[in-house]
Amino acid sequence: MTLATSTQPTGIVERQRLDADIVCVGFGPATAGFLTTLSKQLINQDGTPAIESAVLPGAPPQVLCYERADDIGFGVSGVVTRARGLRATFPNLDPKDIPMAAPVTEEKVVYLLDPVGASRRSWALRAADACIRACNGLLPFEHEAVELPWSPAFLHKTGGLVLSMGQFMQWVGAQVQSTGTVQIWPGTPVAEVLIEHGEPEPDQAGRVTPCAPVPHPSSLGAHGVTRPTSAPKVVGVRLLDQGVDKQGKPGDGFMPGMDIHAALTVVGDGPVGPIGQQLDAQFGLPEGHHTRDWAVGMKFVVDLPADTALKPGMVLHTFGFPEPEIFGFFYVHPERVASLGIFVPSWFDTPVRTAYRYLQHWMLHPYIWRYLKGGKLRSWGAKTIGESGRRGEPHLVGNGYARVGEGSGTTNVLTGSGVDEAWSTGAQLAESVLELLKAKKPFSRENLEQTYLKRRRASWVEAEGRVAEKARVGFQKGVVRGMVGMALAGLTNGRFAPNGEPVPPYKRIPTLEEYYRGRIPAAEVEQLRKECAIKGISLHGALMQRCGWPAIPYDGQLLVSHQDALLLGGKVQAPPGYADHVVFLYPELCERCGTKICIELCSGQAIALGLGGVPAFDREKCVHCGACYWNCAQPIPENPERMNIAFRAGTGGLHSAEN
């Protein structure tokens, strides 16, 4: 690789430039699929390059991958997968080779009734619950739950795998790196995408800057093209500056992030990745596309009790409790370990979308707790999922770049699957890149369209993504309609599905007073708000308790405080010397904001009440789940699709490779 000093002085220290052939942003399943497929074909069996590098003649293409998290495999996912894409890459895949992997052996879908009487249920659901209880003996009703006697085929993961995302990614990472053709750099966030706009112009000092980083989307409309672009070309990325204060101002030990120039930039930075956001801000989304559907996923990895009857490979999905909108999952790994958790979706219209507290109530449901009692917390994590799927797809390719994985709209909300889809798009891109490299064709938009886009459009990921396109629309009008709509879409292969568009969150999140009307008087909400602020405790906890949710009986083993989950389970930490990656864009909007939903839902308790009504962010507690980015309920003046929180590139976060 060639290291050259760039023409871009930062004022204190010169910014370095590195030239590579391909640079990847993020090491999740999508880029892992890309690198696994690519790395196998870059050198011949005798060690000579199968394809020659453009930047290091005589060597194979120089491929770099930068991962934000401090190690490979610190991501969060369920995971149960049909593993079609994974098996296509690893035809001889033996689950025994991957720690915590097991073939799927049993699948159940379970409706959970409300055993505590605090859940916010519609009259229809209450009536359904009453009928189920009245028919006790006729229905398979036990432990306040009904195991559905039948579930639709589109939900099944028959022949698939239960995995730990962290362990799988470490297994893949080791294989990719052992080829010697790819370098993966964890702990190295990518801050910006570098875009070249036609003819370079000299700056005020007469220097010619060949490319410029894209301004952060916080200063751009997220869905509109904001700059004139004469055949813009992505020419690489800029890494994050080190040795700066919270606002990013250089301090002692300042080291400007290096510019990595490459003919192809592969963007696989997931649902809240800053590079994906910047590309969306720069190029806009295709007509009619949006990213209004998402969910916060939170999970525990648990040592099950010694006498557990649960067998590896068991897959359980729940709905109905703790709130009808919240889905649960429970997957069993080998050696008495289970992954379990909940999803809190965007269409759960409440200003108290607190995943941690709801997760504990879900675990305490009699149907679930009988499996968990006596168990122990091993690991904990949280992350958001982009659930718009095909409708959230951005421009997948452009001059010098291609997008893969969840940030490119691969997640399928109908089948509840994301890993296999993300992986497959990465593998499709790798085959396309090899084709172009061998033909010595440039990574232009046209060439990427004729190779990657063509493969992707012809694949099962696209076909199933289209079936799922409107599958969740019904949930905009309630859970029952949502379930019916989903079944309709799935059973008719997408031919019939509810029509409509999701509403942006700020239009659906009521104020606390509106939400609790009829249950807690407005004056009492205000009183609780003041008391909690003085005591420094969470308001959602007090409000939920007031509505009948019982206190959590902490046992120090599995039912632990949120702080203990962060420290024991997530082992969350952040190195010093980096800017805050969560930024409140318009403080005056925060001052006026009644819900302060960002504080209530923060997965890491990293956002707290600050001075003058503007929240304070503590980088050391942030798990990088991105929930605040999606959930903030205040749109910014220049773009109603974007909320008042910017989520930028940052370091640290979870330090567990089991999630």
Only segment of 20-28, 66-74, 405-413, 616-624 that touches ligand SF4 (CB under 6 A): 616-624
Which spans of this chain sit near ligand FAD (rule: CB under 6 A)? Answer: 25-30, 66-69, 75-81, 189-190, 268-270, 273-275, 297, 299, 341, 383, 385, 405-406, 411, 417-420, 422, 649
Query: Whole-number minimum distance, CB 628 to ligand SF4, in Å?
Result: 3
For residue 322 the two structure tokens come to 């703790």
Least distance (Å) from ligand SF4 to the CB of residue 647? 7
Token pair, residue 609, equals 């009440």
Nearer to ligand SF4, 132 or 583 (CB): 583
Name the closest residue to ligand SF4 (Cβ).
Answer: 593
Minimum separation from the CB atom of position 55 to ligand SF4 (A): 36
> Any contact of residue 352 with ligand SF4 (CB under 6 A)?
no
In sequence order, the β-bridge partners of residue 182 are 63
Distance spanning both ends of the chain, measured CA to CA: 34
Q: Which of ligand SF4, ligand FAD, none is residue 81 near (CB under 5 to 8 Å by kind)? A: ligand FAD
Task: Show the DSSP H helices in 179-304 as ranges.
Answer: 274-283
**Nearer to ligand SF4 (CB atom), residue 110 or residue 585:** 585
Q: Which stretch binds ligand SF4 (CB under 6 A): 39-47, 342-350, 403-411, 596-604?
A: 596-604
CB of 256 to ligand SF4, least distance (A): 25
Q: Which is nearer to ligand FAD, 502 or 653 (CB)?
A: 653
- Is 602 one of the binding residues for ligand SF4 (CB under 6 A)? yes
* Selected binder of ligand SF4 within 65, 301, 427, 628 (CB under 6 A): 628
For strands 14-19 and 376-386, give the pairing: unpaired
Which long-range contacts (C-beta less than 8 Å, at least 24 apart) are formed by 434-443? 434/37, 434/38, 434/41, 434/51, 437/51, 437/61, 438/51, 442/263, 443/263, 443/264, 443/399, 443/400, 443/401, 443/402
The CA distance from 125 to 324, in Å, is 8
- Which one, 168 or 515, has the nearer CB to ligand FAD? 168
Q: How far apart are CA 240 and CA 191, in angstroms?
A: 5
Pick the stretch among 254-262, 387-395, 442-450, 599-607 that binds ligand SF4 (CB under 6 A).
599-607
Q: Is 650 in the site for ligand SF4 (CB under 6 A)?
A: no
At closest approach, how far in Å is the CB of 275 from ligand SF4? 17
18 binds ligand SF4 (CB under 6 A): no
Q: How far is CA 539 from the centre of its chain?
A: 26
627 binds, among ligand FAD, ligand SF4, none (CB under 5 to 8 A by kind): ligand SF4
216 binds ligand SF4 (CB under 6 A): no
DSSP string, 382-440: EEEEE--GGGG----EETTEEE-SGGGT--BTTTTB-HHHHHHHHHHHHHHHHHHHHTT
Instruction: Write the single-letter amino acid at 200.
Output: P
Does residue 75 touch ligand SF4 according to CB under 6 A?
no
Of residues 279, 479, 589, 657, which one binds ligand SF4 by CB under 6 A?
589
- Assign 457 to helix, strand or coil: helix
At 207, list the tokens. Answer: 């220097």
Report what 76 binds from ligand FAD, ligand SF4, none; CB cut-off 5-8 Å by kind: ligand FAD
| Whole-angstrom distance, CA of residue 597 vs CA of residue 590 | 10
Residue 590 binding: pick among ligand FAD, ligand SF4, none (C-beta 5-8 Å cut-off by kind) = ligand SF4
Q: Which of 109, 645, 646, 654 binds ligand SF4 (CB under 6 A)?
A: 645
* Residues 475/293, Cβ–Cβ less than 8 Å: no
Is the N-terminal amide bond of 63 cis, ω within 30° of 0? no
- Give the chain's length: 659
Q: Please report whether residue 566 would count as binding ligand SF4 according to CB under 6 A.
A: no
170, 644, 656, 659: which one binds ligand SF4 (CB under 6 A):
644
- Measured from the CB atom, is 41 or 605 closer to ligand SF4? 605
Closest to 78 (Cα-Cα) out of 385, 405, 377: 385
CA distance 283 to 292: 18
Residues that bind ligand SF4 (CB under 6 A): 582, 584, 589-590, 593, 596-598, 602-604, 606-607, 615, 622-628, 632-634, 644-645
